[in-house]
């Protein structure tokens, strides 16, 4: 069978499994729809959390970013990995002990304010829609190439699948669907990485191949070879970076603290029975995540080396089939500027103009084709990319639906709503959210990982300070928390919109504040949030005794006695 046939078989089979699991595990109550009845095994929850966490940005785009950016791309790897550790150790156990459904639930009750709840709902929806746009775009890219449909049609197909198992199954259905998706995506990521590592370096473990020598007998290290190829074509050395150190620090920090504020990841820790199980599931999730994240730099290096060896100065008439297939999608574009019929793929320091434009989101998907792996491996990677995108999209859509149905409608404006009507409201909200997400997938504000980075910045500037101060400061009050969230997310969103949408011609280091890019500005938004919250808190009344008692109950085990407070 050819690539398209293998892709069709694997995609249809995987979708059938997802739908079957959703039917088997469909939610019958709000508890099952929101948090799977708090009955999920820690290992299962760890696997589902890993799938929820490893989105299209992780599977499709992260290795592509590292492939094109070299050392600079490591900010995504370090930020996302470190952020999950921060979330698991600093936030998850305390939020699980609080025992509510959602992050806005925590914010509303901790800050004893409906206004705080509404602000948290708005932030959750804003962050989630920004994030889900990247996932739907990833779905469209996979369908466009491997099933020979337009990217917009691919997004619509993905919408239909997500609508079915997210709206029907809720968190219970999504959890067990994500377990199946994790198994598929990690297998799809590792198989081609192992094959290519064997061919290029002789190592069966990709991580060893990344630091090993190429298998052509030259004794040259892979990264040394890649540096030479890059520099010969006018690019910076692969192991060098061009970003300023402050921007690297800010992007890494924004991704890290943004991770700890992402509502769709935090809610996963409500699905286990007790606090100890939340800690155990966090450990398992970190192990499952590490399998992919430690492999991504290897995949990036393999893809970059294969690409340069394949297309650099090659006659256009003799390019392999994979090149023309991706060219048909519009994600690779060749313009013969000097009319010599050869592909000049050159960097900014070369005297020869660059004739080739490559969308960095295709590198992982095209890698097996570039390396001439069997058709079934290429189809497997396509199915894995879809699994990564759809698993995270489902979690994000659930956050949006619960924020509207539980936090806004029931807790905010409709205290007398029945559980049945709340469940219907949540499903309707999820359906509307799918449609809006599809629109953003068709009209994305950037490439997949960049869009996701914006979402992390927004989460860092809004939720993270409110949650941290809500847990570790008994004195933080509603006025401070609400003011901080509004200031943080307004500043961050305004900075991103100014440079990415209103004035894209100014989107360069020379115009950014202190050289900090829109991807890293969430750190300044976070600091602004903390500063405003602390300042306003000092001039407004403190929280009531019941709230202080609640904070003590969350932070300390029963019978542990009074402990010293971390005051801010």
Give the C-alpha separation, 194 to 330, whole Å.
Answer: 29
Distance between CA 138 and CA 156 in Å, rounded? 12
Tokens describing residue 36:
């799977």
* Cβ–Cβ under 8 Å, residues 342 and 313: yes
pLDDT in tens, the chain (568 residues): 777 788 788 888 887 887 777 677 665 555 555 555 566 788 888 888 888 777 777 787 788 888 888 888 888 888 878 887 787 777 777 877 776 667 788 888 889 888 888 888 887 787 777 777 777 777 777 777 777 778 788 888 878 877 776 666 566 667 777 888 888 889 889 999 999 999 899 999 999 999 899 888 888 899 898 888 888 888 878 887 778 889 889 989 988 888 776 667 777 777 777 777 877 888 888 889 889 888 999 999 998 888 888 887 889 888 888 888 888 878 888 998 888 888 888 888 888 888 888 888 788 888 888 888 888 888 888 888 888 777 777 777 777 777 787 777 776 665 667 777 777 887 788 788 888 878 877 776 555 555 667 777 888 898 889 989 998 888 999 999 999 999 999 999 899 889 887 888 888 888 899 989 888 899 999 999 999 999 999 999 999 999 888 888 877 655 444 444 444 4
Torsion 35-39-40-42 (CA) sign? positive
| Token code pair at residue 273 | 């029975």
**CA–CA distance, 540 with 113 (Å, rounded to integer):** 14
Distances (CA, A) of 330 to 334, 356, 359, 362: 10, 12, 9, 11
For the chain, the straight-line distance linking the first and the last C-alpha, in angstroms and rounded, comes to 64
Residue 358, H or E segment: strand 356-358
Structure-token pair, residue 413: 């404006």
Residues 6 or more apart in contact with residue 169 via CB below 8 angstroms? 21, 22, 23, 25, 26, 27, 177
Task: Please count the residues of the chain.
Answer: 568
Distance CA 405, CA 102 (A): 11
Quote the CA–CA distance of 204 and 198 in Å, as a whole number. 5
Alpha-carbon span 167 to 171, nearest angstrom: 9
Phi then psi for residue 221, to 5 deg, are -70, 150
* CA gap 299, 306 in Å, rounded: 11
In 261-351, which ranges are E strands? Answer: 332-334
């Amino acid at each position: 069978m050819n690539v398209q046939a293998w892709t069709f078989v694997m995609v249809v089979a995987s979708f059938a499994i997802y739908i079957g699991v959703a039917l088997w595990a469909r939610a019958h109550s709000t508890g099952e729809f929101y948090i799977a009845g708090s009955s999920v095994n820690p290992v299962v929850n760890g696997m589902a959390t890993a799938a929820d966490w490893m989105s299209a940005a992780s599977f499709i785009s992260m290795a592509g970013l590292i492939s094109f950016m070299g050392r600079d791309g490591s900010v995504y790897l370090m930020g996302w990995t470190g952020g999950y550790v921060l979330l698991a150790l600093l936030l998850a156990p305390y939020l699980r002990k609080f025992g509510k459904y959602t992050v806005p639930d925590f914010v509303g009750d901790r800050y004893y304010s409906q206004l705080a709840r509404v602000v948290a709902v708005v932030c959750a929806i804003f962050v989630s829609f920004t994030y889900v746009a990247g996932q739907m775009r990833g779905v469209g890219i996979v369908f466009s190439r491997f099933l020979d449909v337009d990217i917009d049609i691919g997004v619509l197909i993905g919408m239909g699948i997500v609508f079915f198992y997210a709206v029907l199954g809720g968190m219970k259905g999504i959890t067990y669907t994500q377990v199946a998706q994790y198994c598929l995506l990690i297998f799809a990521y590792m198989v081609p990485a192992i094959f290519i590592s064997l061919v290029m370096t002789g190592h069966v473990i990709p991580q060893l191949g990344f630091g090993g020598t190429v298998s052509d007998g030259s004794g040259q290290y892979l990264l040394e070879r890649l540096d030479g190829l890059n520099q010969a074509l006018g690019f910076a050395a692969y192991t060098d970076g061009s970003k300023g150190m402050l921007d690297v620090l800010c992007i890494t920090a924004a991704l890290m603290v943004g991770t700890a504020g992402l509502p769709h990841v935090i809610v996963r820790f409500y699905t286990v029975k007790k606090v100890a199980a939340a800690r155990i599931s966090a450990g398992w999730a970190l192990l499952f995540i590490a399998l992919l994240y430690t492999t991504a730099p290897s995949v990036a290096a393999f893809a970059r080396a294969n690409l340069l060896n394949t297309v650099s100065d090659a006659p256009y008439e003799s390019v392999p089939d994979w090149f023309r297939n991706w060219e048909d999608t519009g994600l690779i574009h060749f313009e013969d500027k000097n009319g010599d019929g050869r592909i000049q793929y050159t960097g900014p320091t070369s005297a020869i103009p660059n004739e080739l434009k490559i969308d960095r989101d295709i590198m992982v998907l095209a890698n097996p084709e570039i390396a001439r792996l069997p058709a079934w491996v290429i189809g497997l990677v396509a199915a894995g990319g879809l699994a990564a995108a759809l698993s995270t999209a489902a979690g994000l859509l659930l956050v949006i639906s619960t924020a509207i149905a539980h936090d806004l409608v029931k807790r905010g404006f409709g205290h007398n709503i029945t559980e049945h009507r709340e469940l219907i409201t949540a499903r309707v909200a999820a359906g509307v959210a799918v449609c809006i997400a599809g629109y953003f997938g068709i009209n994305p504000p950037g490439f997949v990982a960049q869009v996701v980075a914006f979402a992390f910045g927004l989460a860092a500037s809004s939720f993270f300070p409110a949650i941290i101060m809500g847990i570790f400061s008994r004195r933080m009050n509603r006025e401070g928390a609400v003011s901080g969230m509004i200031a943080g997310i307004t500043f961050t969103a305004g900075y991103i919109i100014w440079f990415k949408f209103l004035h894209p011609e100014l989107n360069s280091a020379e115009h950014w504040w202190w050289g900090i890019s829109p991807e890293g500005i969430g750190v300044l938004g976070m600091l602004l949030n903390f500063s405003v919250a602390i300042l306003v808190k000092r001039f407004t009344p403190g929280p009531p005794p019941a709230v202080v008692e609640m904070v003590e109950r969350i932070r300390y085990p029963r019978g542990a006695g009074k402990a010293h407070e971390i005051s801010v």
